[in-house]
A and B are shown apart, each in its own frame.
Chain A
C-alpha cells in the first residue's frame, strides 16, 4: 500500500514539472513571436521612409537614377519577404541601398542642410536603432527558447508538444551607437 503512495507521489511530481516546463516554453514562444512582430513593425517603418527620402534626394540629385532604382527595388523585396532568413537577406539589400543613397547626399551641401532631409535622417537613424534593439530582444528570446528545447529534461516536453527551434535574425549591423549621427 505504502509503495503505491510513493509511486503516485513521483507521478504527481513529474506531472507538475512537465506542466511548469510546458508553461515556460509557451511563454518563451510568445515572447519570440512578439519580438518578431516588433522587428516587422520597425522594418515596415523603415520601408515607409524610403519613398520620401528618395523624393527629397531626387529634388537635388537628378543624375543618380541607378541609386534610386536600387534602393526602391530593395524596398519592394523587403516588403514581399516572408520568413526570417529571407527577410534578413532583403534587409541587407535595403541597408546597402540606403548607404549608397546617403553617400550620394554627401556631394550636395544644399541637400544636407535641407530641413525636410534632416528630419527624415533623424527618423531613419532612430528607426535603424529600433531595428537593432528589436533584433537584440528577439535574438535573446530565441536563444533562451532554443536552449530550453535542446536541454534535458525540457527537450522531452518540447518534443511531445511539437515546440521547434527558431532561427536567429542575422543582418548587417545598421549604423548604431556613437557613429549613428553620421550615416555616410
Chain B
C-alpha cells in the first residue's frame, strides 16, 4: 500500500512535468511562427503552471462542479453519512465530505488530493437501488481509492485533460469566428494570425487522443481490481460489493454529465448515449475492466 501511495505521487509529478513540457512546446512553436520570440513560450509556461497548481489545489472542486454534485448534511442522508464515517474509521483516515450527484444511473466516485482533503460522491440512483450492505461495499471501494491516493492522480488527470480539451475548443472557435471576420472585411493581415490560431487548435485536437492514452497509462485498469479487493478487506464482507456490482450490470449507465475527462473516476464507466451500453468513442477510451471480470475476482477471494 505504501508503495502504491509513492507510485501515485510520482505519477502526479510526471503528469505536471508533461503538461508543462507539452504546453511549453506549443508556446515555443507559436513564438517561432509569429516571430515574437520568447513571448509565446512564457505565456504557455505560465498557463501550464497555473493549470498544474490549479488542478492540484482545486481539482476536486472542479470535478465535483462538472458533475453538478451537491454536498449533503447528516440530517439529509443519515445512512450514507454513517456508512462513510464507519469506513473512514476502519481505514484510519478523517471522514471525507459527502456529495450527491443528481443522476439516475447508479454510480459513485471519490476525488481530492489526500485523505485530509477527500470527497466521496454517489448518484441519487445509487442510493435508490442499493441496500445498506451493497452501499457499504461501494463506499469501501471508494475509500480504498482515497487511501491509496488514486484520487490524486485521477483528479489531476481529469482537470488537465479537461483544460486541454477546453483550450482546443477555444482555439478552434477563435479560428472559426476570426475566419468569418477576415472574409467580411477582406483584410489580408488577419490571414497569418488566423492560420496560427487554427494550427494551435488543430494541434491540441490531435493531442486529445494522446491525452486519452495518458489517462489509460496513469489510471491503469488494475487499480480498479485493487480497490475492489482493498475495499472488501475494509468491510470484511466481499458479498456486499459483489451484490452491488451485479446490480450495476443490469442498471443503466447513461449520464448527462458523462465525459471523457472524468470517466475514469467513476465506479462504473458512464456512457453518454441513452439505451446503448457504450458509444464507440467511449469504448476506445475504456478505462474500466468489465464488471463480470471484477465480480469473478471478488468471488475468488
Instruction: List A residues at the B interface (Cβ < 8 Å).
Output: 31, 34-35, 38, 42, 122-123, 126, 129-130, 133-134, 136-137, 141, 177-178, 180-181
Contact = CB atoms under 8 A, between A and B. Distances in A.
A137 B91 contact: yes
B185 interface: no
- Residue of B83, B85, B91, B240 ringed by the most chain A CB atoms within 10 A: B85
B73 interface: no
B146 to A, nearest CB: 15
Given A136-B236, A177-B133, A180-B132, A129 B91 contact: no
Interface in B120-158: 132-133
Contact of A122 (B78, B89, B236, B240): B78
A contacts with B: majority SS: helix
B82 interface: yes
Contact of A137 (B78, B89, B237): B89
Contact of B86 (A122, A123, A129): A129
B92 A35 contact: yes
A133 B79 contact: no
A30 to B, nearest CB: 11
A136 B237 contact: no
Interface residues of B, number: 17
Contacts of A31: 92
A181 B132 contact: yes
Given A122-B78, A178-B133, A181-B132, A134 B237 contact: no
A135 to B, nearest CB: 9
Contact of B87 (A133, A141, A177): A133
Given A136-B236, A177-B237, A181-B132, A130 B82 contact: yes
Contacts of B237: 177-178
B90 interface: yes
A48 to B, nearest CB: 15
Nearest to A128: B86
A178 B79 CA distance: 15
Contact of B90 (A123, A137, A181): A137
Contact of A136 (B78, B90, B239, B240): B90
B133 A133 contact: no
A63 B215 CA distance: 66
B86 A133 contact: yes
Contacts of A42: 89
A34 B91 CA distance: 12
B89 A38 contact: yes
